[in-house]
């Protein structure tokens, strides 16, 4: 979804954030710009397991059943995959590549905060050759055990193959675990296993020992063991126009952070220990909880332009 540039920069100023961490400010081979003019709202990012240097992305919302393969050396699109057999996507927000050789696409957005009774996950095999193609995708119906909600982060664990979704909610969301194996025979129920800040994307490290989560003005790695969140380690993430995506590099030594917008940048940030033993680097705090009642009304009217997660005053998409 889009947010006004002025609102985002005002929020950053109000929070006293540093624009770029030292790790992100330096040029790096992993930095690139998405050049395809068709990609105006890159909302997810995932490293290919088959093609070195290739990253998968997609547009936000109802752009269509398209997924793009981007060459990180040039920023050019080398393949556009058109999914069939999935109907019309409603609000695609996330992408992840599993160790099973499949690309998972999360049609999990719900800007009305719980309108959709169910959302969808699509799956298709990562192609052996990179070229424009139409593929038959598998569609899974998903709902949450505690009711509908908005989400923008879909993660596949590289060892277990289990899928997780992080919800996006004012004041903090939840981390949801899917069934051991997804099924096309019925609805797949995701159950809340932990609390998380307001999340716009996430990714597991290649060795499965870390879970990286990001929001608009913060990022962190969490230790991951036994299917549970552990200690939180700050990551010095870059401030971007609209921080919507994150993924690990295939070697686990860095995180790539992406943003929406035309010719959107992707910035590489090294993680200490190659994703295995991160330092507590300075990081922006998680979004603050929104007050309730009368205080909420005062807060909303006086802080519209500086809210951490202000929706633009237009119809939800």
State residue 103's pLDDT score: 98
**Is pLDDT of 85 > 50?**
yes
State residue 106's pLDDT score: 97
Gyration radius of the chain over CA positions: 18
| The model's pTM | 0.80
User: Mind listing the pLDDT tens digit for each residue in 213-253?
Assistant: 999 989 999 999 999 999 999 999 888 888 889 999 999 99
Closest CA to 69 of 1, 127, 156, 134: 127
**Contact by Cβ (8 Å): 103, 46:** yes
Closest CA to 163 of 244, 88, 97, 243: 97
User: Mind listing the pLDDT tens digit for each residue in 260-310?
Assistant: 989 999 999 999 765 443 333 334 444 444 434 433 333 232 222 222 333
**Contact by Cβ (8 Å): 165, 149:** no
State residue 306's pLDDT score: 26
**Dihedrals phi, psi of 218, to nearest 5 degrees:** -155, 160
The tokens of 127 are what? 């192609």
Q: How far apart are CA 48 and CA 79, in angstroms?
A: 12
State residue 1's pLDDT score: 52
Closest CA to 194 of 177, 213, 180, 174: 174
User: Mind listing the pLDDT tens digit for each residue in 20-41?
Assistant: 333 333 333 479 999 999 999 9
Question: Strands 265-270 and 138-144, how do they pair?
Answer: unpaired
Question: Strands 138-144 and 119-125, how do they pair?
Answer: antiparallel
* CA angle centred on 205, ends 201 and 209, rounded to 5°: 120
Q: How far apart are CA 102 and CA 230, in angstroms?
A: 27
* % pLDDT > 70, the chain: 76
State residue 252's pLDDT score: 96
Cα-Cα-Cα-Cα dihedral of 107, 109, 113, 114, to 10°? 0
Identify the DSSP state of 274.
G
State residue 273's pLDDT score: 60
The tokens of 251 are what? 């070697």
Q: Which residues pair with 236 in a beta bridge?
A: none
Question: Strands 187-196 and 138-144, how do they pair?
Answer: parallel
State residue 114's pLDDT score: 73
Task: Give CA separation, 128 vs 53, 67, 68, 70, in Å.
Answer: 14, 15, 15, 15
Q: How far apart are CA 96 and CA 265, in angstroms?
A: 19
* CA angle centred on 119, ends 245 and 100, rounded to 5°: 65
- Give the HSE-up count for residue 269: Cα atoms under 13 Å, Cβ half-sphere: 30
- Which residue has tokens 């985002």? 8
**Is pLDDT of 145 > 90?**
yes
3-class state of residue 22 by DSSP = helix
3-class state of residue 302 by DSSP = helix
E strand or H helix that includes residue 236: none
């Amino acid at each position: 979804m889009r947010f006004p540039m002025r609102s985002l920069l005002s929020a950053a100023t109000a929070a006293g954030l540093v624009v770029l961490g030292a790790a992100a400010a330096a040029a790096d081979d992993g930095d690139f710009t998405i050049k395809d003019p068709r990609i105006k709202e890159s909302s997810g990012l995932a490293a290919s397991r088959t093609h070195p240097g290739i990253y998968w992305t997609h547009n936000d919302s109802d752009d269509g059943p398209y997924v793009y393969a981007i060459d990180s050396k040039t920023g050019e699109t080398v393949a556009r995959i058109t999914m069939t057999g999935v109907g019309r996507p409603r609000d695609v927000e996330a992408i992840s590549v599993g160790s099973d050789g499949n690309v998972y696409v999360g049609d999990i957005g719900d800007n009305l905060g719980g309108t959709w009774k169910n959302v969808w996950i699509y799956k298709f095999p990562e192609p052996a050759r990179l070229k424009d193609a139409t593929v038959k995708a598998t569609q899974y119906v998903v709902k949450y055990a505690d009711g509908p909600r908005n989400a923008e982060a879909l993660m596949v664990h590289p060892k277990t193959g289990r899928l997780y979704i992080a919800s996006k909610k004012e004041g903090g969301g939840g981390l949801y675990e899917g069934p051991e194996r997804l099924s096309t025979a019925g609805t797949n129920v995701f159950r809340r296993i932990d609390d998380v800040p307001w999340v716009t994307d996430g990714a597991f490290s290649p060795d499965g020992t870390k879970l990286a989560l990001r929001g608009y003005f913060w990022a962190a790695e969490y230790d991951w063991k036994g299917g549970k969140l552990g200690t939180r380690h700050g990551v010095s993430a870059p401030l971007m126009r609209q921080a919507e995506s994150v993924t690990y590099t295939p070697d686990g030594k860095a995180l790539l952070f992406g943003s929406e917008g035309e010719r959107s940048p992707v910035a590489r940030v090294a993680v200490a220990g190659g994703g295995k033993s991160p330092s507590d680097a300075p990081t922006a705090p998680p979004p603050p909880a929104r007050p309730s009642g009368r205080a909420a009304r005062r807060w909303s009217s006086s802080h519209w332009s500086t809210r951490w997660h202000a929706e633009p005053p237009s119809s939800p998409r």
